[in-house]
Amino acid sequence: MSGTHDSPSCSPTGWGREYKEATNTVLEARDSCRPPINHGGQERTPYWDALMEHLKTSPTPFHCPGHKQGKGIPAALLDFVGSSAFALDLTQVIGLDDLHQPTGPLKEAHELASRAYGADHSFFLVNGTSSGNQVMIMAVCDPGDTIIVPRNAHKSVTSALIFSGAIPVYVAPEYDYELGIDHTVTVESIEKALRDNPRAKAVLIVSPTYYGATADLRKLVSLIHDAGKIALVDEAWGPHLRFHPDLPPCATTAGADLVVNSTHKLLSGLTQSSMLHVIGDRVDLGRVESVFRLFMSTSPSCLLLASLDMARMQMATQGKELLSETIRISEEVRTRINRLPGLACFGKEIVGKPGVSGWDPTRITASAKKLGFTGYEVEKIFRDRYNVQFDLSDIFNVIALITIGDRAEDGEKLAAAFEQFAREANTVLHHKNILETKDRPLELPDWPPQRLSPREAFTSPYETVSLKDSVGRVCTEVVTPYPPGIPILCPGEEVTQWIVDYLLIEMNAGVHIQGPVDPQLGTLRVVR
């Protein structure tokens, strides 16, 4: 029988030796990363430990995944990644519990996470925070139910509205004309929405925003509960808030009923790993669990689940120390950027503006618009010229995420790149300066009027028209500049001329559009 690879190390004998070495490496890593036992049990990692015990027994796998713990992996990928990751890439076999009905180590890991975050129940998500938003809305809304939603919610909220059949009442977040970004919704705007929509079932709050602004969650949650409604919080950008006193209050502390946060975005969870938290008894836990099973993969990655277990342990036992250094690096970078002519990087001075009750100092949002550069241009220049990659660019800004994974030398490289950019901006670098081509100040258009529910529009017969001919028609698609993933058009909304003008400017500036069948936006699908 011929082997899968030509490499001798992938022969049965060679693989056995390599697998044993990989197993020993993983077990040594497990033992070396354990903190002292003085954190109220949070040093425990039950799911990670279950994986380690499975590796010790080394059963011959006749189960998924097909690469059989690395034996079927192409040689180049195996050589680059190494054996350990594939040894841990397991399915839910005996001893590794069941994400859809946990009774063993995964159940214990969920309980530890709920205690760490101050929740009553927590769930590990392997389909990202997008699935968490979908679970939250589906768990509390039936077809025809009204839900109050910030218009700058992530596109996963739009998909949840389509799935659930819920009808959104959009509330405009506070727009910052100086910075060119949306902040959060205010207590006053939600109070008005509740007064105007007494039959609303729930309210969704986005906090923090991609740019780091946080809502007045305590007042908002109290207001929502006093109205007899359910408070949902998309806290994708705040998985770290719970673990440092200098950060804004987190949504679980504020008493929200359902909270989702992205462990992978700013902590050490692997990509796609997030958490959903349930607080109190206003939400039917059984319904949450049932909807959770609808949206979670039946083949969850044990490696992702283990990373969530370890990330929780790390933050519960070392979070304050790690985040103190993260904040220090961020503040140093921000100070150096603000010394540069034509550049700006806002900080805590924005707290107190409408829609900014608090602010996450680990976020670096920098703008070169005074030099005539769009954020898209800055991102490309930094990637091509200085070998620095940002997390987001928009028409005005770039965002750099400073996290627990950064070190002082990383902050130094980022600050030095901005300093080099400032030196070269008016001499070496060339750009179109589209920021000066608009008759009126360049800003986000008014949110379009809603004519149908997202589900009605999405499932309606459609026709395809040119973008310019779509004005006045009802959109059936989601049109989203990505990142940050906030739709400019949602199904059921009327296309306005201002929307079309803005999209053309964004496209000319180089934005990446997600959602429509035609990503170049030459055409758009509208209700027939």
Give the pLDDT confidence score for residue 6 in this predicted structure.
39
Residues above pLDDT 70, as percent of the chain: 90
pLDDT tens digits for 315-328? 999 999 999 999 99
**Per-residue pLDDT at 439:** 42
- Please give the model's pTM, rounded to 2 decimal places: 0.89
Inform me whether the pLDDT recorded for 301 exceeds 80: yes
Strand partners, 18: none
Displacement of CA 317 from its chain's centroid (Å): 23
pLDDT of res. 13: 38
Instruction: Give the rounded percent of residues in the chain with a pLDDT score beyond 90.
Output: 76
Residue labelled with tokens 């039917």: 284
Q: Please check the confidence at residue 12 and state whether its pLDDT lies above 50.
A: no
CA distance 394 to 334: 19
What's the rounded Cα separation, in Å, for the pair 323 and 315? 9
- Select the more confidently predicted residue: 28 or 87: 87
CB neighbour list of residue 75: distance below 8 Å, 6 or more residues apart: 5, 6, 7, 10
What is the structure's pLDDT at 21?
A: 60
Give 406-417 as a DSSP string.
--HHHHHHHHHH
Secondary structure tally for the chain: helices H, strands E: 16, 19
Domains, the chain, with CATH or none: 8-88 (no CATH), 105-315 (3.40.640.10), 320-436 (3.90.1150.10), 454-527 (3.90.100.10)
Contact 213, 235 (CB under 8 A): no
What would the two tokens of residue 175 be?
């727009």
Alpha helices in 400-514 (DSSP H): 408-424, 454-459, 497-509
Confidence band of 444 (pLDDT split at 50, 70, 90): low
pLDDT band at 452 (very low <50, low <70, confident <90, very high): very high
The residue type at 510: G
pLDDT higher at 375 or 11: 375
Angstrom CA distances, 368 to 337, 393, 394, 426, stand at: 10, 11, 11, 12
Q: Provide mean pLDDT across the span 139-147.
A: 97
Element at 527 (helix H, strand E): strand 523-527
Tokens standing for residue 323: 């985040």
Nearest to 311, CA basis, from 275, 278, 263: 263
Q: pLDDT grade, residue 256 (50/70/90)?
A: very high
Residue 441: the pLDDT is: 44
Q: Length of the chain in residues, anyone?
A: 528
For residue 20 the two structure tokens come to 């044993």
For residue 64, the model assigns a pLDDT of 87
User: Three-state SS string across 41-76, please?
Assistant: CCCCCHHHHHHHHHHHHCCCCCCCCCCCCCCCCCHH
In tens, the pLDDT along 23-69 reads 555 555 555 555 554 578 999 999 999 999 998 888 888 888 999 98
> Span 394-419, mean pLDDT?
97
Residue 229 pLDDT greater than 50, yes or no: yes
